[in-house]
Amino acid sequence: MTMTTRRTFHGTAGACGAALLLALAGCATAPVKPGVAQAPPRATVINPAGLERVMGRDADAVVALLGTPDQDQREDRGRRLQFVGPACVLDTYLYPKGNGKPVVTWVDARTPAGADYDRAACLAMLSRQ
């Protein structure tokens, strides 16, 4: 007569199952109370104050204001004109609007070391040179 030994893993499986349920419970979202409206997510507002002289302008207008760019990089339909000053680096990004000429749609500024810099202040500084 042969005896078969059956091993049971109820203790291990139960512990693993409980751990799995606890881990998944952390992924659940908080329930929404009926009748309570949640605030919509806030849209990012980009303040173009001080950038009016370049936003929406074509490359010729930007070059007329700031001089010859230190870099002129083209990629697909976009173009980046970079202007470097002693305190800041200004990047202007031009993309076509509809079927029209590419115009400045975004401006970014940083220090030569790469830290953020006020875009309007950089534009004002570079346009005075």
Per the structure, how many domains does the chain have? 1
94 touches 20 (CB < 8 A) = no
CATH code of the domain containing 79: 3.30.1450
Query: Is residue 71 situated within a structural domain?
Result: yes
Q: Which two tokens stand for residue 56?
A: 């929406």
Query: Is residue 124 situated within a structural domain?
Result: yes
Cα separation, 94 vs 81, whole angstroms? 8
12: DSSP letter: H
Nearest to 128 by CA among 83, 92, 95: 83
Q: Which pLDDT score is estimated for 62?
A: 97
Query: Is residue 94 situated within a structural domain?
Result: yes
Q: Taking the chain (129 residues) in consecutive chunks of 10 residues, what is each chunk's mean pLDDT?
A: 48 48 49 52 58 96 97 95 97 93 96 96 90
Complete DSSP assignment for 77-98: TEEEEEEE-SS-EEEEEEEE-T
The whole-model pTM stands at 0.63
Query: Is residue 96 situated within a structural domain?
Result: yes
Query: Is residue 99 situated within a structural domain?
Result: yes
Q: Which pLDDT score is estimated for 97?
A: 87
Cα separation, 91 vs 83, whole angstroms? 6
Query: Is residue 7 situated within a structural domain?
Result: no
**For residue 82, what are the β-bridge partners?**
71, 91
Q: Which domain holds residue 117?
A: 59-128
Query: Is residue 117 situated within a structural domain?
Result: yes
80 touches 57 (CB < 8 A) = no
> Which amino acid is residue 54, in one-letter code?
V
Query: Is residue 35 situated within a structural domain?
Result: no
